[in-house]
Chains A and B, each alone.
Chain A
Amino acid sequence: MEANTRSTGRLPAAFLTPGSSSFMDFLSEHQPELLPGKRQLPAVQGVLEAPHGTTIVAVTFPGGVVLAGDRRATMGNVIAQRDIEKVFPADEYSAVGIAGTAGLAVEMVKLFQLELEHFEKVEGAQLSLEGKANRLSTMIRSNLGMAMQGLAVVPLFAGYDLDRERGRIFSYDVTGGRSEEQNYAATGSGSIFARGAMKKLFRDDLSEEQATTLVVQALYDAADDDSATGGPDVARRIYPIITVITEDGFRRLTEEEASVLSRSVLQARLEQPDGPRAALL
C-alpha cells in the first residue's frame, strides 16, 4: 500500500520530495499503475460493450455559465441506466460534464477533481481557468489508447473566470484537443440536435433563469431526435442535472427546481411539440 509500508512506516521519500504541486505527477512517480493512462491494454481487438453517457450542453450568460446533462446511459440499444449523473463540480468555480464511456469518465472526473484540490492545497492558490482546462486536456490525451479501442471520453468543461469576470466553456475532442467555445456548446450523441436548438434560442442578454430554461429546451430537442438521450422522466421524477457557475461559485439546481423547469418546458411542448419558434427573418 501507499504510505505505511516500507519497513519503518515513515513517509517514503517520494512524499517528501519538494517540487511538483500536481497529484498526477506525484502518482506517476510513486504509483503509476493508479493512473488511468498508464495501464497496459490487452492486445485483443474487439467491441467492448460498456455503458455510454450521452448529451451534455453548456451555455453562457452575462454573469456566469450553465452546464447541464441528461440522465441516460446506453449500452448498444439497451438503456443501461436511467438516472446516471454526468455533470460534476470540478472545484468551486468550475464543472465538468462527460459524454462517452461512463466508467472511465467517472474515474477521470474523480482524478481531475483531486488534481485541482491538490494543487489548491499545496500552493495555497487556485489554478487559472485556462490551467484547469489544460490539465483536463492532458488527461483526455492519456486515454487515447482506450479511445482507439472504442472507449472514448469526451468532456465539456465550464467555469467562471475570476480574472476576466465571465463564464467560459471549453470543448474537447478524443485526442485531447481543446477549444474555447463562444456562447454555447454541446457534446455527446445528441449534441447535433442540442446545438441546433441552442443556435436558434441563444441571445446574449439571457438571465440565469432563461439560460437554465434554454439548456432544458436543448436537452429536450436532443432527446426528441436521439434515442440515446433521455428526456425529462416525469413518472420516475428523473430530471436533467443543471448546474450554474457564477461569481458566487458552483451551484447545482435542486431536484425541485429542475422539476419545475422541466415541467414548464413539457407543458409548453404539449401546445408546440417542436418547441419555441425562432423568427424567420
Chain B
Amino acid sequence: MSTPFYVSPQQAMADRAEYARKGIARGRSLVVLQYADGIVFVGENPSRALHKFSEIYDRIGFAAAGKYNEYENLRIGGVRYADLRGYTYDRDDVTARGLANVYAQTLGTIFSSAAEKPYEVELVVAEVGDTPEGDQIYRLPHDGSIVDEHGSVAVGGNAEQISGFLDQRHRDGMSLAEALKLAVQALSRDTNGTEREIPAERLEVAVLDRTRPQKRKFKRIVGRQLGRLLEADGAATEAESSDEEE
C-alpha cells in the first residue's frame, strides 16, 4: 500500500502562488495613474479588439493583466454585478470598494479551493471622484488580497520595477499628456534596464475623466487624439490636453 506524499499547507499555498505569479508574469505589464482630471490606464496591447481596460460603470474602470479568458470572465461578472446593483438600488450605490470586495472574495475563494486552479490574473479597479482626493484605486492580486493604491500602480510581469520607477516620478496634478508620457516611459523599460520604443499603435489607453459631461466617465483614447497627446511636450502640454477632452 502506498501512502500519499504529505505536502504542508504552507508548501501547497506557496506552489499555487508561484503558479499564478508565473502566469501573470507572462503577460505584458500595464499601469494606472492619477492625473489632474482623472485616472489614466496605459498598457502595451498589440490587439485592437481584445481589451485590457474597460468600463464597468459610470465612474468605475477595470484593468487586468494575466490570462485573457479568466479576466474577461471576471470583467463580465463585474459588469453584471454593477448593473444589477444599480438597477436594484441606485446608480450612486455602485462603488469601486464594493466591486473590489466582491472580486477579492472571488479570487480568494478560488485561490484557496483545492478543487480549482488559481486564476492567473491581477486586477485593478479604479473609481474617479469629483476631486482628485475622491479617486480610488484598488489593486487585486491573484490571492484575493486588496491593496488600496494612491498615485500610480503597475500590474503584470515587470510590475515591481515599473512601480518603483513610477513612485519616484509621479506627482499629483500632472496633466494627461504628462501622465501618459511617464506611463509610456515606465512601460518601455525592460527588466535588464534597456529601453525600447513602443509605437502608438501598440498602446492601449483609456481614461476615467471627471470633466466629461456625461455620467459615464470612461473613454478610450485612440488614433489621432492619442498621437497628439504623445507628441505634446513642455509648455504646450497643458493647453493641448484640455481641448483634447471634449
A positions within 8 Å CB-CB of B: 1-4, 8-11, 14-16, 18, 23, 26-27, 30-31, 34, 110-111, 114, 117-118, 121-122, 124
Contact = CB atoms under 8 A, between A and B. Distances in A.
List the 6 closest A-B pairs by CB distance, nearest first: A9-B105, A15-B77, A10-B106, A10-B109, A10-B105, A16-B77
Contact of A2 (B73, B85, B109): B85
Interface string B67-111: 000001110110111011111100000000010011101101110
B54 A124 contact: yes
Given A18-B73, A18-B76, A9 B102 contact: yes
Nearest to B214: A92
Contact of A23 (B51, B54, B83, B88): B83
A182 B72 CA distance: 42
Given A2-B88, A16-B76, A18-B73, A8 B109 contact: yes
Given A2-B88, A121-B55, A15 B105 contact: no
B51 to A, nearest CB: 7
Contacts, number: 75
21 contacts: A2-B81, A2-B85, A2-B88, A3-B84, A4-B98, A9-B105, A10-B106, A11-B81, A11-B103, A11-B106, A15-B77, A16-B74, A18-B76, A23-B80, A26-B84, A27-B84, A117-B83, A118-B80, A121-B54, A124-B51, A124-B54
A14 to B, nearest CB: 8
A3 B76 contact: no
B162 interface: no
B110 A10 contact: yes
B138 to A, nearest CB: 16
Given A10-B110, A121-B79, 4 more contacts: A4-B102, A8-B105, A34-B88, A114-B87
Nearest to B102: A3
Interface in B138-166: none
B165 to A, nearest CB: 31
A198 to B, nearest CB: 31
B83 A3 contact: no
Contacts of B109: 8-10
Given A4-B102, A4-B105, A16-B74, A26 B80 contact: yes
A124 B47 CA distance: 14
A139 to B, nearest CB: 14
A118 B102 contact: no
B186 interface: no
Contacts of A23: 80, 83, 87
B79 A118 contact: yes
A16 B51 contact: no
A15 B80 contact: yes
Given A3-B85, A11-B77, A23-B83, A121 B56 contact: yes
Contacts of A3: 81, 84-85, 102
Nearest to B82: A121
A110 B87 CA distance: 8
Contacts of B84: 2-3, 26-27, 30-31
Contacts of B106: 10-11, 16
Nearest to B49: A124
B111 to A, nearest CB: 11
Given A9-B105, A10-B106, A121-B56, A15 B81 contact: yes
A209 B100 CA distance: 48
Contacts of A14: 80
Nearest to B99: A3
B88 A122 contact: no
Contacts of B98: 4
A118 B108 CA distance: 27
A52 B183 CA distance: 55
Contacts of A27: 84
Contacts of B56: 121
